[in-house]
Amino acid sequence: MLIRFTKMQGAGNDFVMLDETRERLNLTPGQYRFLADRHFGVGADQILSVRPALDPGIDFEYVIHNADGGEVEQCGNGARCFVRFVREQGLTDKDTVRVKTLSGVIEPSLQPDGRVTVDMGAPIFDLARVPFDAAGLTPQAVNSWSKWPLALAGQAQAAPVLIAILSMGNPHAVQRVDDVETAPVLETGPLIEGHARFPRRVNAGFMQVVSRSQIRLRVYERGAGETLACGSGACAAVVAGIRLGLLDARVDVLTHGGTLSIEWQGGLDAAAAPVLMTGPATTVFEASINVPDHL
């Protein structure tokens, strides 16, 4: 099957964009894995599909598949690329679009300076909705919130890692580290991602607080491994830092792929304010590829 695609990236988080507004491709998990494969396919952290909206007041449906072929609820960096893609492809003339994901509705907007701002919606702190199984655990209370001790497989002699848990439409576990460059992201990231207490797995964030307005961040993403940047992970880290009393409302997040600007006015009272993320979205190239039918 010959497929036309666009390769895009947002802060180094790279995507294969598919236009399914006229016809559904009906790809299998194996075909998504093929497209994401950096040796045999195109290469991407996620595959993003644009589909026509079925609900009134919605411009498009935004469907996200990780590199492992599994469908997921949210991708913040991808949302920025999404709005640039639909504009460049002539699918809309709007600067702001309302987009439906598995987890709800988001609103990415093109800015005059070329960057894109995404209203990511309000963070979710209800552990059952993350979801996270806290049975038998005793949390550490901080500013009327909680950090949770998580014992990791194969590290019985080590102290549990303390994580802040929330959802940005997808699950996140954020831990503070002294230095992201020496943090054991590749060692403990997979252990947190697949931990039994997260029935849908989780994105594992490693946050270094530089100042009240700046952090450094690495994220081991669910279904993709460590990526150069994770937009929803940046949002989750900033929200966690604010709830823990470490950060102000506007924070620059430094990742290996670039800088994302995050704003959350929810504060310590956990008001249901939306998280705003601003960053780059760039088209890399367009091409076609033959995707094997048997995958």
The verdict on whether residue 143 carries a ligand-binding annotation is no
Q: How many domains does the chain have?
A: 2
Q: How confident is the model at residue 153 (pLDDT cuts 50, 70, 90)?
A: confident
**Within-domain flag for 246:** yes
Same domain, 253 and 152: yes
Which residue reads 């100042």 in tokens?
211
The 3 state secondary structure assigned to 52-111 is ECCCCCCCEEEEEEECCCCEECCCHHHHHHHHHHHHHCCCCCCCECCEEECCEEEEEEEC
Which residue reads 């994580």 in tokens?
163
Same domain, 110 and 240: no
pLDDT the model gives residue 271: 62
Same domain, 153 and 256: yes
Catalytic residue among 185, 230, 251, 260: 230
pLDDT the model gives residue 270: 59
**Within-domain flag for 255:** yes
Catalytic residue among 75, 224, 242, 244: 75
Same domain, 145 and 115: no
**Could you tell me which residue, 39 or 223, shows the higher pLDDT?**
39
Same domain, 264 and 132: yes
Same domain, 99 and 174: no
Percent of the chain with pLDDT over 90: 89
- 2-10 and 13-19 strand pairing: antiparallel
CATH number of domain containing 74:
3.10.310.10
Same domain, 47 and 169: no
Percent of the chain with pLDDT over 70: 98
The verdict on whether residue 170 carries a ligand-binding annotation is yes
Same domain, 157 and 189: yes
Mean pLDDT of 95-121: 94
Token pair recorded at residue 284:
């890399």
What's the predicted TM-score (pTM) here?
0.90
Q: How confident is the model at residue 156 (pLDDT cuts 50, 70, 90)?
A: low
**Within-domain flag for 295:** no
User: Residue 137 sits in which domain range?
Assistant: 127-273
The verdict on whether residue 231 carries a ligand-binding annotation is yes
Closest-CA residue to 166 (of 186, 148, 179, 181): 148
Same domain, 285 and 269: no
Same domain, 198 and 104: no
Same domain, 135 and 176: yes
Mean of per-residue pLDDT scores for the chain: 94
Same domain, 20 and 146: no
- CB neighbours of 191 closer than 8 A, spacing ≥ 6? 152, 153, 154, 155
* CA distances, 250 to each of 195, 220, 264 (Å): 31, 24, 7
Answer yes or no: 81 catalytic: no
The verdict on whether residue 154 carries a ligand-binding annotation is no
The verdict on whether residue 221 carries a ligand-binding annotation is yes
Mean pLDDT of 81-96: 97
